[in-house]
Structure 1
Amino acid sequence: MNRRNFLKAAGTATAETLLGSRMYALATAQTSPAAPVAANDHIQLALIGAGIQGQFDTKVAVQVPGVKLVAVADCYDGRLERSKELWGSDIFTTRDYKEILARKDIDAVLIATPDHWHKQAAVDAMNAGKDVYCEKPMIHLYSDGPEMIETARKTNRIIQVGSQRVSSIIYAKAKELLASGAIGQLNMVTARWDRNSSMGAWNYTVPLDASTETCDWPRFQGTAPKIPFNAEHFFQWRKWKAYSSGVAGDLFVHLFSGTHFITGSHGPTRAMATGGLRFWKDGRDVPDVMLGLFDYREGFNLSLRVNFVDGGEESEGLIFTGSEGTMEIAGSTVSVNRVPLQKEPGYTIGTFTDAMQKRILEDYRQKYPVTHPSGGPTAGYEKYVAPAGYSDSYDHFSNFFSTVRTRKPVVEDAVFGFRAAGAALLSNLSMERGEVVKWDPDAMKLV
């Protein structure tokens, strides 16, 4: 299965036409009956990091035909026990993921550890001959990226980064619309991911049996500074920069991935960010409000925002602003509002004679005929909607496992993942330094 197979005619099934407003249903073959998978063609999958995202990912991954979970590694005994409850008592469980990598019956691993373990787990897995699905952000430190890219090249292993929007039919449609000139020349992208809950702000539940007996604290810490056991650090690790990349690595990276996929850009050249701890002053050392501004050499600016105390419901979305209109992605929809650029002589025309005004207006109509650059309508509103129950996470895993079988290029390789995460982490760097930072998106290096 492949994202391209899910996209059929771009504008199928017109559902509504009213005063220039049109609604379209995006078609997908996702829910079609899957082709049978031979018994010897099953992919044996292992999970490394069975926390919130790891369990969610695995539940989606095993829905793909021909995929079987056979092993799980995690530093908390309770999650190893939970894995057996979810996927069967016969699966192999361990605190040490290297025991998984030593097994010959495992084809691929899903890495959903804290950020500071992504690089080492991925490198170890590829060196052990395993293909890798690595959750975002791909990196925790800038030095992680080149090593992961080089290891994939050297071992000829597949690594796909887990930003599922790269496989979404919604984002694919947005990419098509932008390329068609639907909103004219792009000049700005505005994106946000706001939340207003304790859990949304990473205050995850700590189990009552959390202790050095049930948690492998030394293994969890890895390269992080060594401190005595702290259950909050273990189970709410996103709140500390020793293990996570903060809102930039958790949420900005999704917005960068979507923006880069739709625009085809390699990334920004300059970044500046501000923010701070505005509400969740609970000992964490990463901000709960962050705003970032980024320059792109393609001729547009990107504005990002995360607010963990937004006073309302969780809100995510991107708005692409062009010279002829706007395109917005919200939930399972992408919509275009076309408002052709107004080319008027200017308000000073009223100071001229009637005869001169007439001549100027005729001249302007000849120079600037009111037509849309793509040949479409000059104005109007269009909305494209994904089918009910559509899952881009399923598509992303389906694409990954298809690549494991075919050895064809993945939809989000380590280079794409590094460019997205590298751009996101510019925000942290800008805040730490209190200055604008520069980035070479081609060489993927700080300038």
Structure 2
Amino acid sequence: MRRRDTNSRRGFLKSTAATTAVTVLSRNAETEAAAEALAAPGPNDKVRIATIGMGIIGFIDTDCALKTPGVELVAAADLYEGRRTRVKEKYGDHVSTHVDYREILDRKDVDAVLLCVPDHWHSAMSIEAMKAGKPVYCEKPMVQTLAEGPDVINAQHETKAVFQVGSQFASSIVFDKLRDMIAAGAIGKVNVVEARYNRNSSLGAWQYTLPLDASPDTVDWDRFLGKAPKRPFDATRFFRWRNYQDYGTAVAGDLFVHLLTAIHHATGSHGPTKVAAMGGLRYWDDGRDVYDAILSLLDYPATQAHPAFTVSLQCDFEDGGGDATSFRFIGDEGVISTDLDSLKLERKGISWPTAEQELKGYNSVQTFSKAQQEAIAAKLAKEPRKASARTAYSGPETFKPPAGYDPRYDHFVKFFTSVRKGDPVYEDAVFGYRAAAPALLCNASLYESKLINWDPVKMQVVG
């Protein structure tokens, strides 16, 4: 994954003079001009897109993509009749709708495709689309299984296609700023990262509403199954596919991949070498065969990009305190916390006791004989006191993106710039796999009750 071009629409977010004041940015005329300079097409530079899979994310991604200047929707595909109808209701009768996604790949008027389909279709459709010469924006996780990752990577390398994974945290200015703060020594050496993505509602736990007309007549069930095991029509499985291992990647594949994308972007890491996870089905016992709560530990080795650190990931669909996504990047000199809407730096560092605290505080000295206490006191009086080495950081301590900021839009801006200009994509297949693989390993660790070793450079299981 290459670093963002400093001439992009986020160039105005460069670090300014040292300050501890709150940084608040607005989308003023200069900012909008930068966005237009990045995304505005020439007279013959319109990008015509087609979205394959018009579920929740399909509509969200399409709406966001269409906000990018010069992008036009010409076709969409979905296996449910009602969603094909909704496409025309929302975007117009001129938008062609299809059941078979291959018809879209054959169209000459489709310049790029958005893949917003169930996870078990990601790799196959991505590879077919790239071989058909279509730039691809594929929703996360990039693959459903570890074995599929190398095939997608090879397809991108062989076809040299524009292929970007849709995990928008990779393009977030919040994590850009966090990355820059870490690189500037704001928290010293990172040693632990804590991240959580919790929910507390039925819809958040994937109990989506089923249409009243769902039937084999309105849903192409056999096409949906694809490589998955054959079974009779089941509307719940079709519309709530994330709840089943046959089609989805469970909580980790859906949400941990976001957390890992952000962590890898902020630290420059390729991934962990050890993965362990525990969890289970604790509340949403509705027939699903995936868990609804998981805790994972991932160990990251020291590299040229970063020191060794350990990651703690949590996802709890029954968080009675409320749904929340947050990170804490912890170093020996400070902590950066974010809830995605803002960043906060606290710099306290490692503390060392005064002579008085060492002699009379919560320490072992008072348990020694009086002679030893006096000897230690005399020794301490002659020694210089220890103090933590502090990085010379003088940057901002807080950061807040513009009101209404949407990293998904930035992610699409980057994608369509690559489509138009042939620039390297921001989140390519290698980066996408390195974010997806540890999430899938969390599933494997939980299901198999074992620690898993991973080589993040070669991208393969060890042992």
Normalised-by-shorter TM-score class:
over 0.9
1:372 counterpart = 2:387? no
Q: How do 1:159-170 and structure 2 match up within 5 A?
A: 159-170=163-174
1:262 corresponds to which of 262, 266, 274: 266
Q: How do 1:74-89 and structure 2 match up within 5 A?
A: 74-89=78-93
What is the distance in 2 between the residues matched to 1:117 and 1:271?
26
1:206 counterpart = 2:214? no
Which residue is 1:428 aligned to?
Answer: 443
**Cα shift at 1:27:** 6.3
**Cα shift at 1:348:** 4.8
Which residue is 1:232 aligned to?
Answer: 236
Which residue is 1:25 aligned to?
Answer: 24
1:300 counterpart = 2:299? no
Q: Which amino acid aligns with 1:207?
A: P
Q: Which amino acid aligns with 2:348?
A: V
**Once structures 1 and 2 are overlaid, which stretch shifts more, 192-201 or 78-87?**
78-87
Change (3 A) 1:375 1:173: closer
Which residue is 1:401 aligned to?
Answer: 416
Q: How do 1:338-417 and structure 2 match up within 5 A?
A: 338-344=347-353, 348-349=358-359, 351-352=373-374, 355-360=378-383, 363-364=384-385, 368=387, 372-376=390-394, 382-417=397-432
**Cα shift at 1:22:** 2.9
What is the distance in 1 between the residues matched to 2:54 and 2:411?
19
Q: How do 1:4-403 and structure 2 match up within 5 A?
A: 4-8=8-12, 10-12=14-16, 22-26=21-25, 31-32=32-33, 34-35=36-37, 36-298=40-302, 299-344=308-353, 348-349=358-359, 351-352=373-374, 355-360=378-383, 363-364=384-385, 368=387, 372-376=390-394, 382-403=397-418
Equivalent residues of 1:291, 1:303 under 8 A apart: yes
Equivalent residues of 1:26, 1:169 under 8 A apart: no
**Cα shift at 1:138:** 0.3
Name the SS for the 2:414 alignment partner: helix
* Unaligned 5+ runs, structure 2: 303-307, 361-372
Name the SS for the 1:193 alignment partner: strand
Equivalent residues of 2:78, 2:99 under 8 A apart: yes
Equivalent residues of 1:47, 1:110 under 8 A apart: yes
Name the SS for the 1:429 alignment partner: helix
What is the distance in 2 between the residues matched to 1:9 and 1:417?
25
Equivalent residues of 2:138, 2:164 under 8 A apart: yes
CA RMSD of aligned residues (A): 2.0
What is the distance in 1 between the residues matched to 2:91 and 2:197?
32
Q: Deviations over 1:81-122 (max 9, x none)?
A: 111112111011001000000011111100000000001111
Name the SS for the 1:225 alignment partner: coil
Change (3 A) 1:323 1:234: same
Q: Which amino acid aligns with 1:309?
A: E
What is the distance in 2 between the residues matched to 1:164 and 1:40?
28
**Cα shift at 1:8:** 2.5
Moved over 6 A (4+): none
Q: Which amino acid aligns with 1:318?
A: F
Name the SS for the 2:23 alignment partner: strand
**Once structures 1 and 2 are overlaid, which stretch shifts more, 327-336 or 161-170?**
327-336
Q: Which amino acid aligns with 2:414?
A: N
Equivalent residues of 2:186, 2:393 under 8 A apart: no
Equivalent residues of 2:79, 2:219 under 8 A apart: yes
Scaled by the length of structure 2, the TM-score of the pair is: 0.90
Name the SS for the 1:254 alignment partner: helix
What is the distance in 2 between the residues matched to 1:26 and 1:172?
14
What is the distance in 2 between the residues matched to 1:263 and 1:250?
21
How many residue pairs match? The answer is 434
Equivalent residues of 1:11, 1:26 under 8 A apart: no
Scaled by the length of structure 1, the TM-score of the pair is: 0.93
Name the SS for the 1:181 alignment partner: coil
What is the distance in 1 between the residues matched to 2:11 and 2:173?
7
Q: Deviations over 1:155-192 (max 9, x none)?
A: 11111000101111100000000111101111000000
**Once structures 1 and 2 are overlaid, which stretch shifts more, 60-69 or 329-338?**
329-338
Equivalent residues of 1:2, 1:402 under 8 A apart: no
**Cα shift at 1:137:** 0.3
**Cα shift at 1:227:** 0.6
**Cα shift at 1:2:** 6.0
**Cα shift at 1:238:** 0.3
What is the distance in 2 between the residues matched to 1:30 and 1:9?
10
What is the distance in 1 between the residues matched to 2:191 and 2:284?
35
Identity of aligned residues (%): 45
Which of the pair is proportionally richer in strand? Answer: 1
